[in-house]
Amino acid sequence: MPGRFCDLDFLGGAHTMASGWTSPYLTHHPMFTGAREAVAALRDGCQRLREAIERADDDSLGRAVAGYTYAPEPPRDGLCVAGGPGAVQPATHFIAGALNELTHHGAQIGALRDFYAWRQVDRDI
């Protein structure tokens, strides 16, 4: 997700927020089957996002951006259908949302990792 976020137009990319580019429900995202590949993608994406935010100027960050919505249609090819553009917010609204997603899902991953490690310790006792 952080890597895909860098491809949004207000950070210099070719996709709009309204397209649903960052949503796994509207666009196909890679599915990782191993931790090494997932961690590498997360680290690379976070680094790219940091660099994109650092390069952004006040005009880019304050730009009015429409979010995505879901159309009231059945899914196609395993994905929801994008609706019309959503509410307009400053680009910083969407950046803050992306950072919130990263931190709370990162905390969930850390908790699962710890539970898994503790389960292994319990077996050794």
For the chain, give every domain's residue range. 2-124
Q: How does pLDDT run across 87-125, given as a tens digit for each residue? A: 999 999 999 999 998 898 888 888 888 888 888 666 665
Percentage above 70 pLDDT, the chain? 95
pTM: predicted TM-score of the whole model, two decimal places: 0.81
SS (H, E, C) the chain: CHHHHCCEHHHCCCECHHHCCCCCCCCCCCCCCCHHHHHHHHHHHHHHHHHHHHHCCHHHHHCEEECCCECCCCCECCECCECCCCCEEEHHHHHHHHHHHHHHHHHHHHHHHHHHHHHHHHHHC
Q: Answer for the pair 103, 75: CB distance below 8 angstroms, yes or no.
A: no
